[in-house]
Every structure is written in C-alpha cells, then in structure tokens.
Structure 1
Amino acid sequence: MASFTIAAAAALLFCLLAADGCCAKNSNKTHHAPPSPGTSPPAPVSSANATDADTGGWLDARATWYGAPTGAGPDDNGGACGFKNVNLPPFSAMTSCGNEPLFKDGKGCGSCYQIRCVARNHPACSGVPETVIITDMNYFPVSRYHFDLSGTAFGAMALPGRNDQLRHAGIIDMQFKRVPCLYPGLTVTFHVEDGSNPYYLAILVEYEDGDGDAVQLDIMDSRDGMTPTGEWVPMKESWGSIWRVDTRRAMQGPFSLRITNESGKTLVADKVIPADWKPNAIYRSVIQFN
C-alpha cells in the first residue's frame, strides 16, 4: 500500500508540474498504456450493459487540467483521438483526456460525460453538471477514473466568477456519469486523412449522436467508379478515432461506410465518399444515430 501511495503521489506531481498535464502532446499514432484499476463505464442508456452510472448514478473520479487556462487542452487543438479544431464548435473546448477505462485504447474517443464538483470537493465548485467529450489520452492516471480536462472544462465546474480559483487547485475530486452525445444539426462526418491514396485509406469518424464513439468501421468500394462491389471490408483502427484499410489493388470510389457504435447499433453511409475524393477532405453523411 505504501509503495502504491508513493507511486500515485509521484504521478500526481508529474502531472501538476508537466506543461502538458497527464495527456499526450501532438499525438499522431496509437499508444498503448497499461490499463488502470477497475473497468470501463459502459455505454449510455441505449446499451444492453447499462448500469447506474448511465441511468442517473454518479461515479467518483479525480480531475486535473492542462494547456491554457481557457483553452481546449492540446496546443494544436487536437489530441490522441485525431479530432481537429476541438477549440471550435461543436466541441467548444469542453474536452478531456481520459485514462484507459475512459479512452479504451481509442474506442472511447468521442464519448460524452457529465462532470461536476461540489462544495465538499472544493469551495469554488458549483455542483452544476457540465458535459465534456473524450478527445485525448491520459498517460499518468492518479485515480481509478481520471479526467485531465481542458482549462475551459475544468473552470466550467466553478461557481460564477471563481473559475480561476478552481483551476488554482490543480486537482480535485469530482463525480461523473456517461451521457448520450448530442450534435444538433450535424450528421456523422468522415474526414479523409492526409496521405490517403487508392492503396491506403485512413478515415476519421466524427459527430456520432448517442454513444459518440465508433468500435468498428467497414468500407465498400466500387468496381467501375460507379457500381458498389457489394463486399464490406473491415477497416483497422489506426489510432484514436481514425480507421484505415490497406490493399494490394487500387480502390475506387465512391465508397460506402458502415459504422458500428459501442451499443452495437450500425448505420450505413451509402456512397458518402465520391469517386473524385481527395485527401484532407471532409465528407458529411445524411445519417445519424437516434
């Protein structure tokens, strides 16, 4: 027990002293951290595995913060999930790193959680729930569940006018619960990553209502630039919420994509990526999880 306490204290000191907190800096590939004690909180109410954490119960966690006091966390407004511009809507800097039970080796990317801290945690805490999105990986957890929040999200848990006072605490006890994600007016969106070509295609999945995450992405290409092959090919998780497929033959668009979320629900975006697709382009579907 003494050795665990010393290790936890050392990890906490590292987090508080490091300029980038406990999270990744400019992550661009998959990282595998050892699992933290405990199990992952399950998906929201739609999941067959829902627990009290999803139906109104709160779980205990600890929170730290990193980056600029009113920023989105990473200097590049990205993170280990691959999302871009998380300082802008719909993320609006309400973002967080999660340790492994939350990040889930990338499959927790995009999950939404309500967080709150109350007066017994810190006198500046408001007790009002705020919603954050997992966009990054926490490498140095200091508790079973550890949210390394953006400065904006950490300060949002404070009473009006006491945001800086709460941030000065550095670390606080807090509570959280999994909630469905909601992106009003947005549909599931696919970003073709830089470096993609007919033999290698990497796709970032964003803005999924409900679970908010993707646990599998499958692709179907076309025979002649028009007719679908009818064959779904499983894509591999590259890193974070980016999925890839490598082939020995040149793939032809248009491409259809089939996305499966943590609750097992599946949606098909038919011919969502056109035949004249380009790397570093965004393609918006007409589908959304209910």
Structure 2
Amino acid sequence: MELSFKHQLGLVCIIVLFPALCHCQEYTKSRATFYSTSDDYGTPTGACGFGEYGRKMNWYDGRVAGVSGLWRNGVGCGTCYQVKCLIEKLCDENGAYLVATDQGYGDNTDFVMSPRAFIELGRDENAYEELKKYGTVEIEYKRVPCTYTGNVLFYIKETSSNPGYFAVVILNVNGINDVTAVEMWQSGEWKALNRNYGAVFDFPNPPSGEIRLRFKVSGMSDWVDPKIVIPSNWQPGSTHITEVQLK
C-alpha cells in the first residue's frame, strides 16, 4: 500500500531561512476518525481557506485532516503531524504524516482524517479495512516539521477584488512555524492585515499599485520578507511564488 506524488517548481533564486528555535515534542494520546470523499482526497471547502490546494497540500498528496483543539482559531492551519494508531496487530509503526487543513470534530477526537491519511494508519490494505470498521480509533500524535516542496506561496483568494478588497493565504510554510501576522506596505508604513478566518488574512481597500507583503512566523523573531512584489494587475485566484523557503 503506497501513495506517491511528485510536484516540482522551477526557481531561479531561493532564500533559505532557518528558525532560531528547535522544537521537540513527545506523543500525545487522543482519538481519530475519518470522513469520506469521492476521490479520497481532502475537501476544497475546508475552514482554513486553502481551496483546491487544500485537497492535496503539495507532496502530502491528500493526507490531510480536520482538527479540533489543534485548530487554535486558525493558527493551526497548515501545521503537520505524525499520527499513529494503537491497535498493534493492525497499525503501522510509522502511521500517517498529515496536514491540518480544516476544523473538524468527532467523538472526542483531535483528528478527522481524509481517506488518504487514514489509510496510512494501517499495516496494509486489509488492516485499513479493519480500522474503518472501528470508525474511531485510539491514537498518539505529535507535531512534526512540515516538508512542503518549493518556496513559500502567496495565494490570493477568489473572494478578492482588484481594486477594493485583498485576501491572501500563505502556503508552503515549512518547519514548525505558525503564521502569526501579515503586513502590507502602504503609504510609507507597514499596516496589519486581519485574520479573517482560518489561514486567510485580508485588507479592505488595498493600494492600487503593486502590493508588498511581509509575514511573521512563531519560530523566528524577525519578520519574513519574501523579496517579491505582487503586480498591480493581480487577479483573484492567482498564486505568486516568493524567494523564501523556510526550514
């Protein structure tokens, strides 16, 4: 039982940033369940606001989940976890590596997993079918560094309107880093965007010209400058590749 996915981005210049802090974490006991989709990937309507990108989340290839306590008012969007079930005869020792893309609640669960994530819990396909019969399983989990391929992306939400309204999601945030703030350069100063919901930050009445953003992550003391500007003719639904790659 193996799932594979290839995703490559050709880039000319990369700035690699390393967090100042090292994160170590023990496993936490909890419970997990799963939801169904027509193709076993995640849902594009997840509460993080990732849209179609949230169905697969880069090389994680649909191994995604809705979370409850780990949601943290949207700060937990895009964070990565190792999840292992605890039925020895059925469960794979490495479990599933997945991304939080939604808010989800089950029967005292921390994870509501996509089919492509839940299948990774089992030793093999037969074990997976047995785990499905349980519905909800005992697990242990820990947060792990995200390992997205490529640089940080700025995804401009389809709800944006040029001019008049700007909403953005920051994708491909590697390592153990939470995006805690986003700012836009306007009239000679940095101005804060509002966390609208999930991972979506917005700004009414943005500048009519080019847009310059910077963001802050929990693992670094300084603001992250992506070294790009979003062109003045930006379109809702467009994605812009930065020159930053977090580790």
What is the TM-score with the length of structure 1 in the denominator?
A: 0.71
2:49 maps to 82
| Structure showing greater relative contact order (alpha-carbon pairs closer than 8 Å, 6 or more residues apart) | 2
Larger % of strand: which? 2
Partner of 1:203: 168
Gaps of 5+ in 1: 1-45, 222-228
The Cα RMSD (Å) is 2.3
CA contact (8 A) 1:69 1:167 kept: no
Contact 2:31–2:111 (8 Å) recurs in 1: yes
Count residues with an aligned counterpart.
225
Q: Which amino acid aligns with 1:164?
A: E
Query: Which of 200, 203, 206 is matched with 1:245 structurally?
Result: 203
The alignment partner of 2:33 has SS state of strand
Correspondences of 1:6-155 after superposition (within 5 Å): 54-68=23-37, 71-74=40-43, 77-85=44-52, 86-88=54-56, 89-99=58-68, 101-120=69-88, 123-138=89-104, 140-143=105-108, 146-155=110-119
Does residue 260 (structure 1) correspond to residue 216 (structure 2)? The answer is yes
TM-score (norm 2): 0.82
- The alpha-carbon distance between structure 1 residues 136 and 70, as it changes in their structure 2 partners (threshold 3 A), is same
Secondary structure of the 2:98 match is strand
For residues 277 and 268 of structure 1, what CA distance do their matches in structure 2 show? 19
Q: Distance in 1 between matches of 2:209 and 2:170?
A: 18
Report the residue type matching 1:210 in the other structure: G
Q: How does 1:229-240 map to 2 (within 5 A)?
A: 229-240=187-198
- In structure 1, the residue matched to 2:233 is 276
Answer whether contact 2:81 2:97 (CA < 8 A) is retained.
yes
Tell me which structure has the larger Cα radius of gyration: 1
Question: Which residue of the other structure, out of 155, 164, 189, is the alignment partner of 1:191?
Answer: 155
SS in 1 for 2:178: coil
5+ residue gaps, structure 2: 1-18
Contact 2:107 2:136 in 1 (8 A): no
Once residues 40 and 111 of structure 2 are traced to their aligned partners in structure 1, the CA distance between those partners, rounded to angstroms, is: 16
Other-structure match for 1:159:
123
Which amino acid in the other structure matches residue 114 of structure 1?
Q
Find the aligned partners of 2:20 and 2:106 in 1 and give their Cα distance: 27
SS of match in other structure, 1:255? coil
Change over 3 Å in CA distance of 1:282–1:73 after alignment to 2:
closer
Q: Does the 8 Å CA contact 2:178/2:219 hold for their aligned counterparts? A: no
**Structure-2 change in CA distance of 1:212 and 1:82 (3 Å):** farther
Partner of 2:11: none
With over 3 angstroms needed to count, the CA separation of the structure-2 counterparts of 1:57 and 1:283, relative to structure 1, is same
- How far apart are 1:216 and its partner, in Å? 0.7
Q: Deviations over 1:168-202 (max 9, x none)?
A: 21000000001111113x11111112232333211
The residue type paired with residue 41 of structure 2 is: A
Paired amino acid for 2:219:
S
CA distance in 1, matches of 2:141, 2:39: 21
